[in-house]
Amino acid sequence: MLEGRVWVFGDNIDTDAIIPACYLSTVEPRELAQHLMEGIKPDFPGVVQCGDILIAGSNFGCGSSREHAPLSIKGAGISCVIARSFARIFYRNSINIGLPILECPDDLSTLTSGVDRLQVNLDQGLITHIQTGCVYQAAPFPPFMQEIINCGGLVEYIKARLNSEAP
């Protein structure tokens, strides 16, 4: 069960906004996190705290394939991203690195950044607004993806598979 403050972003947030290309000369999540969302909310790295939840509209993470985008979100300590929909490479990258993401058809854009708090049950996809008690339901993952998430990412999943196949 996760709980945290929300930060609300709009539709079609692209990877250049999440982490501009000029910072891609590093692979360290914490270093990347210092520039998270710099393109659209320059003060974000200063205000985001460990455990916060990122809310977005449709097509979150469109644009480049840079895994630095979910890595920088993870590096900032964000516990979960909830969007109406995700761009496909961002979606698979997040699952592959074990960053919890949820697709929720409900409109969460009216939540107040830095004020409203959500509780998220990842297993059931249940999202509860702490202040109002409103409950939202996110789409469940197919079992195969849930297994990758349960393993903590694709590398761990494949390692477990290779171990079980080993003579």
Partner 1 sequence: MVEKILAAKAGKDKVLPGDLVNVRVDLALGNDITAPVAIKEFERFGLDRVFDPEKIVLVPDHFTPNKDIAAAEQAMVLRCFAEKHAIKHYYEVGRMGIEHALLPEQGLIWPGAVIIGADSHTCTYGALGAFATGVGSTDLAVAMAIGEAWFKVPATIRFEYNGLMPRWIGGKDLILLTIGRIGVEGARYRAMEFTGTAIEKLSMDGRMTMTNMAIEAGGKCGYVQPDQTTFDYLEGRVTQPYSAVYSDDDVVYEQTFSFDITDLEPQIAFPPSPDNVYPVSEAAGIEIQQVVIGSCTNGRIEDLRVAAAVIKGKKVHPRIRLLVIPATQRIYLQALEEGLLTAFIEAEAAVSTPTCGPCLGGHMGILARGEKALATTNRNFTGRMGHPESEVYLSGPAVAAASAIAGKIVHPEEVL
Q: Which residues bind partner 1 (CB under 8 A)?
A: 12, 14, 16-17, 20-22, 24-27, 38-40, 42, 58-59, 62-68, 71, 85, 87-89, 92-93, 96-97, 142, 144-145, 153-155, 158-159, 162
Start-to-end CA distance of the chain, whole Å, equals 38
Q: Of 12 and 113, which CB lies nearer to partner 1 in the complex structure? A: 12
Give me the least distance between CB of 131 and partner 1, in Å please: 31
Q: What is the DSSP letter of 115?
A: T
Strand partners, 121: 126
Q: How far apart (Å, rounded) are the C-alpha atoms in residues 103 and 91?
A: 10
State which H helix or E strand residue 163 sits in: helix 154-165
38 vs 116 by CB, closer to partner 1: 38
Nearer to partner 1, 4 or 98 (CB): 98
Distances, alpha carbon 114 to alpha carbons 55, 77, 121, in Å: 11, 15, 20
Which residues touch 157 (CB under 8 Å, ≥6 apart)?
Answer: 147, 148, 151
Please, what is the minimum distance in Å from the beta carbon of residue 26 to partner 1? 7
Nearer to partner 1, 130 or 158 (CB): 158
Q: Give the pair of three-digit tokens for residue 40.
A: 């659209």
